[in-house]
Amino acid sequence: MDRRQFVRGSILGVLASAGARSMIAESMEAAKRARIAVSSYCFYEYFENTREQPGGKTIDLLEFPEMIADRFHLHHLEILAGHFASTEPSYLKEVNIRLKRAHSSIVNLPLDIPGTSVGGGLSSPNATDREHVIALFRPWLDVAQTVGARSVRCDPGKIDSANLSPTIQSYQTLGAYAKAKNLFVIVENHGGVGSEHPEELVRILQASGASVGALPDFGNWPDQATRERGLRLLFPLARTICHTRDTEGDGSGGLIHFDLGQCVQIAKAAGYKGFYSIEAEAEGDVPANIQHVYDELMKSI
């Protein structure tokens, strides 16, 4: 081999190596994006059924998959029950068509539906009240199955720390129904026992069966120490998603900032393999809020 051939071969080798590194980097970026979802909660004020301020721009759930895919190149969604305009079969069929068109999927449905907190909700000491609430949740598990979701979030209502049995019984019943539909029922740390005493939430989940798990939220904790302890307890029980953000309300209109990267590290240490659902602030420049959380996630996961 003469010198010219040697140099040419060396250059080609360097270029090939650089190309391989670029392909690996692109593959790693794609793998990260594939674990990120966007919650429709971020657009709370844009959906007619949930907005609190009248007027302004509105969006429709049928537009949502393509909007998120075009703007953020993300294809996994978490859709609030209140953002479905209907649960009629014809409407759900159209939802599925729009999802397919955007190459997207729904991961989880948070079921914030009227009547499910009455009398203590799933944790009511009255069995008739609990059965009524379960009956309200059950049709939404059918909806979740129809639109291809993997889980639903059902809040426990008012948990009695001195008697967790009613809550456990409710989740056992819902979990059995969910299992038959290849779904998980997941429970978030927000409000009361779930946020302030995560150990009790863990006891409920562990006693409720394999189809019931945790939905860890990086926020919703009373202080940093409880955040770290609670996330370490909940992530081993997480099934499908966690809620990802780096701010939460301080109760007086301001925001508390915390370390998203630290929360992700706790998730990774627990072996978490699910989705990171972006639940960015629903006020101000919402797309910019989502982009900020997305950028922070891409640095961490």
Q: How far is CA 156 from CA 112, 193, 204, 217, in A?
A: 11, 10, 10, 15
Q: For residues 249-258, give the mean pLDDT.
A: 86
Is pLDDT at 215 greater than 50 in this prediction?
Answer: yes
Is pLDDT at 15 greater than 50 in this prediction?
Answer: no
Q: For residues 135-162, give the mean pLDDT.
A: 97
Is pLDDT at 14 greater than 60 in this prediction?
Answer: no
Tokens 């508390």, located at residue: 256
Q: Using an 8 Å Cβ cutoff, are 114 and 103 in contact? A: no
The pLDDT value given to residue 2: 63
> Confidence band (pLDDT; 50, 70, 90) for 10?
low
- Residue 270 burial (CB < 10 Å; 0-12/13-18/19+)? middle
Measured distance CA(133)–CA(118) in Å, rounded: 8
Q: Using an 8 Å Cβ cutoff, are 187 and 233 in contact? A: no
Mean pLDDT of the chain: 93
Q: For residues 235-261, give the mean pLDDT.
A: 93
Is pLDDT at 13 greater than 60 in this prediction?
Answer: no
The pLDDT value given to residue 166: 98
Is pLDDT at 293 greater than 70 in this prediction?
Answer: yes
> Confidence band (pLDDT; 50, 70, 90) for 260?
very high
Structure tokens at 123: 């944790």
The pLDDT value given to residue 283: 87
Q: For residues 239-253, give the mean pLDDT.
A: 91
Percent of the chain with pLDDT over 70: 93
Q: For residues 230-253, give the mean pLDDT.
A: 94
Tokens 């009956």, located at residue: 135
- Mind listing the pLDDT tens digit for each residue in 49-88? 999 888 788 999 999 999 999 999 999 999 999 999 999 9
> Confidence band (pLDDT; 50, 70, 90) for 147?
very high
> Confidence band (pLDDT; 50, 70, 90) for 142?
very high
Q: For residues 130-154, give the mean pLDDT.
A: 98
Is pLDDT at 9 greater than 60 in this prediction?
Answer: no
Q: For residues 124-141, give the mean pLDDT.
A: 98
| DSSP character string of the chain | --HHHHHHHHHHHHHHHHHHHHHHHHHHHHHHHTTEEEEGGGGGGGSTTT-SS-SS----GGGHHHHHHHHH---EEE--GGG-S--SHHHHHHHHHHHHHTT-EEEEEE---TTTTGGGGGG-S-HHHHHHHHHHHHHHHHHHHHTT-SEEE----S--TT--HHHHHHHHHHHHHHHHTT-EEEEE--STHHHH-HHHHHHHHHHS-TTEEEE-BSS--SSHHHHHHHHHHHGGGB-SEEEE-SEEE-SSS-EEE--HHHHHHHHHHTT--SEEEE---SSSSHHHHHHHHHHHHHHH-
Contacting residues for 110 by C-beta, under 8 A, at least 6 apart: 39, 41, 78, 80, 81, 152, 153, 188
β-bridge mates for residue 277, sequence order: 37, 243
Is pLDDT at 1 greater than 70 in this prediction?
Answer: no
**Per mean pLDDT, which range of 31-35, 89-93, 251-255, 277-281 is the poorest?**
251-255
Q: For residues 276-291, give the mean pLDDT.
A: 95
Tokens 């966690």, located at residue: 242
Q: How far is CA 196 from CA 35, 58, 200, in A?
A: 28, 36, 9
Measured distance CA(156)–CA(220) in Å, rounded: 15
- Closest by alpha carbon to 36, among 84, 82, 76, 80? 76
Contacting residues for 173 by C-beta, under 8 A, at least 6 apart: 134
Q: For residues 27-44, give the mean pLDDT.
A: 95
